[in-house]
């Protein structure tokens, strides 16, 4: 049942976007694309880049992952409690507007949480670059 729910969530987030090969050349420039109300909330995190967000939108997000001045992914954090309770997030797909076609989606469970969101939760990363390019992101 949980797998089906995650698959449905992934379909919602991916919307009608087709998967395409990632390339830094085609990525939007962070300076001209990030909303004016976001601030940098972390330095470069391996396999993600710098994190930028509007603090009022946390913990859910969106959190913009920026590497070498380009937006490489969009992240959302959903608490295990909210997910298990059947809460819906019907507006997440609209937050992808104006960003590149998704290359891939990763959903990771954080049983102990992490800095910035210390409760058990799911991290959803919607990447605009290839898995190989993700692996190359280092501080």
Burial of 95 (0-12, 13-18, 19+ CB in 10 A): middle
Integer Cα distance of 5 and 134 in angstroms: 26
CB-CB contact of 115 with 102 (8 Å)? no
Average pLDDT over every residue of 100-126: 94
| Percent of the residues in the chain that have a pLDDT greater than 70, as a whole number | 83
What do you get for the CA distance between the two ends of the chain, in Å?
Answer: 38
Domains of the chain, by residue range, sit at 2-135
Q: For the domain covering 2-135, report its CATH number.
A: 3.30.200.270
| This prediction's pTM | 0.82
- Name the residue among 64, 58, 34 with its Cα closest to residue 115: 58
């Amino acid at each position: 049942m949980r797998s089906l729910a995650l698959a449905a969530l992934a379909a919602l987030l991916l919307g009608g976007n087709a998967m395409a090969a990632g390339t830094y050349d085609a990525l939007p420039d962070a300076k001209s694309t990030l909303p004016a109300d976001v601030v940098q909330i972390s330095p470069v995190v391996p396999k993600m880049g710098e994190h930028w967000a509007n603090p009022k939108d946390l913990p859910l997000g969106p959190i913009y992952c920026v590497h070498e001045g380009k937006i490489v992914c969009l992240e959302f954090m959903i608490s295990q409690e909210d997910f298990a309770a059947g809460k819906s997030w019907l507006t997440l797909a609209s937050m992808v507007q104006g960003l590149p076609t998704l290359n891939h989606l990763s959903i990771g469970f954080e049983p102990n949480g992490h800095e910035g969101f210390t409760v058990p939760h799911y991290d959803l990363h919607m990447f605009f670059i290839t898995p190989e390019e993700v692996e190359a992101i280092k501080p």
